[in-house]
């Protein structure tokens, strides 16, 4: 029924994209893809092989070579379970450098488009989904919240010092927003959802009111 429905969710670190994206996908019986996990998985592979995250060509070769599986059981890189490690401090500290590599992005975007073709649409979440990967998505959202609130939510989830987490979030957003290839931005035609002061359920309910009408013939074609 939701054959080729594509919902693109972008936004800064810790805004609630994954939580809300998963819930929206489940409500609509769609598949969900966390593209941040893909860039984190490449970073995990780069660090594991002892490659410098800034070594452009070597990092690109890792991205092109890795076998990457993301499913309900976790994130697997060349058969190794990386589910926990991709969220760790080491990967988080290097992921923006790896994600700024154009060859890495090109490889990941190809894989993301293939995934959507294979799954007949879905909810896809990241930084450049509405601007680069699926500019013709049926619904394009920019989910955000104040840096302080995002840091407080992260600390409630995984612990840490709020000031430190906030500083690290602000720095990662700065790197992601100022890179030359596919920077984090509010894509043309996207709707901003500021979740500061909103619960997860409120955000999900709000997003569900924005869907194109069932059967509308202006739904995008997945290419």
Footprint on this chain of ligand CDP (rule: CB under 6 A): 11, 13-19, 35-36, 39-40, 95-96, 99, 126-129, 153-154, 157, 172, 176, 195, 198-200, 203
Please report how close the Cβ of residue 60 comes to ligand CDP at its closest, in angstroms. 15
Residue with tokens 């401090």: 89
15 annotated ligand binder: yes
Sheet of 191-194: strand order equals 32-34, 122-126, 6-10, 139-144, 191-194
- Asked if residue 13 belongs to a known ligand binding site, the reply is yes
Q: What's the min distance (Å) between Cβ of 198 and ligand CDP?
A: 5
Please state the closest distance from residue 9 (CB atom) to ligand CDP, in A. 8
What span, in angstroms and rounded, lies between the C-alpha atoms of 10 and 4?
A: 19
Query: Is 19 a known ligand-binding residue?
Result: yes
Give me the least distance between CB of 38 and ligand CDP, in Å please. Answer: 7
Give the DSSP per-residue string, 160-190: --HHHHHHHHHHHHHHHHH-SSS-S---TT-
93 carries a ligand binding annotation: no
Is the Cβ–Cβ distance between 144 and 9 less than 8 Å? no
Angle (CA) 172 86 48, round 5°: 105
Is 17 flagged in the annotation as binding? yes
In the complex, the smallest distance separating the C-beta of residue 215 from ligand CDP, rounded to whole angstroms, is: 30
Instruction: Tell me: is residue 126 an annotated ligand-binding position.
Output: no
Q: Is 146 annotated as a binding residue?
A: no
| 29-to-25, 88, 212 alpha-carbon distances in Å | 6, 30, 16
Q: 80-81 and 74-77 as β-strands: parallel, antiparallel, unpaired?
A: antiparallel
Q: Distance (Å, rounded) from C-alpha 197 to C-alpha 1?
A: 34
Greatest alpha-carbon span in the chain: 51
Q: Tell me the closest approach of the beta carbon of residue 186 to ligand CDP, in angstroms.
A: 14
Is the CB of 5 or the CB of 15 nearer to ligand CDP?
15
Annotated binding site for ATP: 11-19
């Amino acid at each position: 029924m939701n054959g080729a429905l594509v919902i693109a969710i972008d936004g800064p670190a810790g805004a609630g994209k994954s939580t809300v994206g998963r819930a929206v996908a489940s409500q609509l019986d769609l598949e969900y893809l966390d593209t941040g996990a893909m860039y984190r998985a490449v970073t995990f592979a780069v660090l594991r092989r002892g490659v410098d995250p800034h070594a452009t060509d070597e990092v690109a070769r890792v991205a092109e070579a890795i076998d990457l599986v993301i499913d309900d059981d976790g994130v697997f890189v060349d058969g190794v379970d990386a589910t926990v490690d991709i969220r760790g401090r080491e990967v988080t500290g290097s992921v923006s450098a790896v994600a700024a590599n154009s060859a890495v992005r090109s490889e990941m975007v190809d894989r993301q488009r293939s995934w959507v073709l294979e799954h007949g649409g879905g909810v896809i979440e990241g930084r450049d989904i509405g601007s680069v990967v699926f500019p013709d998505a049926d619904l394009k959202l920019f989910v955000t919240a104040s840096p302080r609130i995002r840091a407080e939510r992260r600390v409630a989830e995984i612990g840490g010092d709020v000031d430190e987490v906030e500083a690290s979030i602000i720095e990662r957003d700065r790197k992601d927003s100022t890179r030359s290839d596919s920077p984090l931005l509010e894509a043309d035609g996207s709707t901003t959802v500021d979740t500061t002061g909103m619960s997860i359920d409120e955000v999900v309910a709000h997003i569900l009111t924005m869907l194109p009408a069932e059967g509308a013939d202006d739904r995008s074609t997945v290419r």
